[in-house]
Chain A
Amino acid sequence: MCAYMWAPPFSAVSTMELLSDQGLRVDGRRAHELRNVECRLGVFGRADGSAYLEQGNTRVLATVYGPHEARAAQRRHDVASINCQYRQAVFSGWERGRRAGGGGDRRAQELGALLQNTLESVVLVELYPRSQIDVYVQVLQADGGTYATCVNAATLALIDAGVALRDYVCACSASVLRDQPLVDLNSLETSGAPELTAALLPRSGRLPLLEMSQRFHVDKLGELLDVAETACRDVHTILNRAVRRHVSARSSEK
């Protein structure tokens, strides 16, 4: 599989190309297949928790600092406050992006706030009053499903940091194209089809996150949610395996 970073003209992205008649997508996957996932925990020594996650060509780095003493403005007497920052590297997308100047980018702000919402529903914040947990997410290469990968990476980093969580948060993107549901979209498919990003808590089956772009008919929503749930459970299997491997490797070192 070649790692291409080429942006086709918008007119060339049509439904005919995204899904061939044999049911193969542009990168040779079937409709229900996820991209190749590689993850590593504890990549940074300085941070309390860190994780590097690759889903296909999308590469994301997440670091967690905390729980530590909260700044006076952020301090809440009964729960921890979670501070999330999303940053996309200037070399990560098709065109060279603007240099991130103090997080002034609106999309970065929006995604940071969204990540905070998602994580606040999962982290057991009652256990850490008057403290703050910082989660920093850096996108190194964006090839579709970026936000879902960020959520997954943040989960892994929180686990690595030892922060108490209610459950894994596993996210995945899904779409429906000519009545065929697809999962884990790459950037070509994102620009050509509506995309639903959903996160799942596998044990309770509930969704802390739902985001979508473009538009699709409401009758397809049920099917899409089912497909997204299955994909999120697949992601959960992969992440769980990685975490257990990492923990057993760490404990066998000692």
Chain B
Amino acid sequence: MLLARERALATVRAELGTPRPSRPNEGTLQVAVDVTPTAAPGADRSNDLTVGLERLLERCLRESRCVDQESLCVVADEKVWQLRLHVELLDLGGNACDAAALAALAALCHFRRPHVSVTGGEVRLCPADEAEPVPLAVLHKPVLVTFAFFGDGQHFVADPTEIEERASEGLLTVGMNSYREICTLHLTGKLLLSKQQVLECTELAAARARSLTSQLRRALTADEAERTALHPFPGLARVELERMATAAASVRLSGAVRGPALTAEQISEMEKEVDEKLSVFRHKDMAAAAEIGQGGASQWGPPSEDEEGDQDEMWPRTAETPAKTAPTASDSDSEGEQTVLHPEDLEPHAEPGTGKGLRCPMPVR
């Protein structure tokens, strides 16, 4: 997120965890702000900036109910999605609040979480091939607008640069969304304001918030179009192939463990068929992503009791997740405990939010 000379980077991670005891039906959203040493000399040691910014973002995003936290609930009292929003300030060109807030909002709108299915008492994460990753239910888009005051509150400027910030008597930060609702107000510095000034600032902030949110919406739509263009309906193709692979795997397993239901030739024929189809698909997709698991068909075993534990390791959906390599055909007695993760599984696919989610309303745009 580049706001004039101020740069901020925001990421969202999600994991399943237990809810807070006072709010058993809601997921949680935690905000952490970091100032990197690249931002400004000595800035990474400043605690006030990070704490102030964290609390401001929490108030703006969490307490104003920007994300519908009840939709993050999977099993009441037991499992909810815990979102961690991490903002890194890369370049302090002034007005860190606004940039951080916009980056955080963009990250929340852009984020897609895996789909979860609850059967009986068991919570199962669906890989990206079975169900499209689901976006968060963002109810409204609040942005922060900061004003710096000079001359005993007589003059003020919007979106101050670093020099203006330092020379000012104080800053007023107004959080607004495009529906002209104030989400947060924050006054810092030795500033004495009059009621008129506050009202004036909020009017200006309303106009700016509307333009910022429409810019954000355009950027998100463009990104959505890009995602769809890269992977036209990959979900379908992949599901079919994986099912075949699973079928072959289970056949293989049943042959080895439960008694020969199929002859060895039949099994190897099926395997060959699967391998062929997989290699064709792999060949087509070579340009899109690096393939891991070229040694053979993937081995998705039948869902077992400890599947939940495995799938908890499937995130965070960042580039650093180590994708485990597919076991070779000789590991047939592993009972499918190794979770095979292709990098393209981690990328979001096609249209969002069409899977049947548990308490997952369609996001309001």
Q: Which residues of A contact B (CB under 8 A)?
A: 7, 10, 94-95, 106-107, 109-110, 113-114, 117, 120-121, 196, 201, 204-219, 221-222, 225-226, 229
Contact = CB atoms under 8 A, between A and B. Distances in A.
A222 B194 CA distance: 12
A1 to B, nearest CB: 25
Contact of A212 (B21, B47, B180, B184): B184
Contacts of B181: 215-218
B52 A110 contact: yes
Given A7-B22, A210-B185, A216-B182, A221 B55 contact: no
A74 B189 CA distance: 17
A94 B23 CA distance: 13
Interface in B179-206: 179-195, 198-199, 202-203, 206
Nearest to B54: A106
Given A106-B54, A221-B202, A210 B193 contact: yes
B182 A212 contact: yes
Interface string B92-116: 0000000000000000000000000
Nearest to A119: B190
Nearest to A95: B22
B63 interface: yes
Contact of A207 (B22, B23, B140, B194): B194
B64 interface: yes
Interface string B44-64: 000110011011000100011
A215 B194 contact: no
A187 to B, nearest CB: 12
A7 B22 CA distance: 9
Interface of A is mostly: mixed
A204 B177 contact: no
A110 B195 contact: no
Contact of B195 (A109, A219, A225): A225
A212 to B, nearest CB: 5
17 contacts: A7-B22, A107-B55, A121-B192, A205-B194, A205-B195, A206-B192, A206-B193, A207-B193, A207-B194, A212-B184, A212-B185, A215-B65, A215-B183, A216-B181, A221-B182, A226-B195, A229-B195
Nearest to B23: A10
Contacts of A221: 182, 198-199, 202
A222 B199 contact: yes
B184 A117 contact: no
A109 B55 CA distance: 10
A207 B192 contact: yes
A217 B180 CA distance: 6
B87 interface: no
A52 B202 CA distance: 36
Contacts of B52: 110, 113
Contacts of B10: none
A107 B52 CA distance: 9
A55 to B, nearest CB: 22
A214 B65 contact: yes
B326 interface: no
Contacts of B206: 218
B182 A218 contact: yes
B9 interface: no
Interface string B9-50: 000000000000111000000000000000000000001100
Contacts of A209: 187
A59 to B, nearest CB: 22
Contact of A218 (B48, B172, B176): B176
Interface string B61-81: 001110000000000000000
A117 B188 contact: yes
A210 B198 contact: yes
Contact of B189 (A94, A117, A219): A117
A219 B176 CA distance: 12
A212 B56 CA distance: 10
Nearest to B183: A215
B192 A208 contact: yes
Task: Give the 3 A-B CB pairs with smallest separation, nearest first.
Answer: A206-B192, A121-B190, A110-B55
B336 interface: no
A201 B47 CA distance: 30
B195 A211 contact: no
A218 B64 contact: no
B142 interface: yes
B186 A215 contact: no
A10 B22 contact: yes
